[in-house]
Amino acid sequence: MTWSKKGKGWALDRLKEEGFPKAIIVAVDALTKRSGEDERAFVQRAVSTPLARKVKKADLEDNLLQAEQAGLDTSKYEDGLRMTEGRLGSWGLSVGARK
């Protein structure tokens, strides 16, 4: 998998070659949205990995604040945050207890 949106030339294989720890590679993979993947499946996958869960939670908190400041709908960020806590969101998904 290669990321061109924000980091040209970086891919999971390159992270391995550069010596990044396996936990970082797993987290980056979990935090990379797949082509055609819907938001709830992406968040579900991201929060299933302990390190990625922390990063996704911070990302969602930041997005929520920005949406609130802009007067936009915040429901998807609120649902995602509930998923980081293992609670059901309006998407009807839940994740296991935190590790």
- Angle, CA of 79, 84 and 86, to the nearest 5°: 90
CA dihedral (51, 45, 25, 8) positive or negative: negative
Q: Cα 89 to chain center, whole Å?
A: 15
Nearest alpha-carbon partner for 28 in 42, 5, 47, 12: 12
**pTM beyond cutoff 0.85:** no
Asked whether the beta carbons of 51 and 24 are under 8 A apart, the reply is yes
- Hey, where are the domains in the chain? 2-84
Q: Which residue spans within 1-99 are E strands per DSSP?
A: 2-3, 10-11
How would you write the pLDDT of the chain (99 residues) with one tens digit per residue?
544 455 667 889 999 999 999 999 999 999 999 999 998 899 999 999 999 999 999 999 999 999 999 999 999 999 999 988 886 555 554 444 333
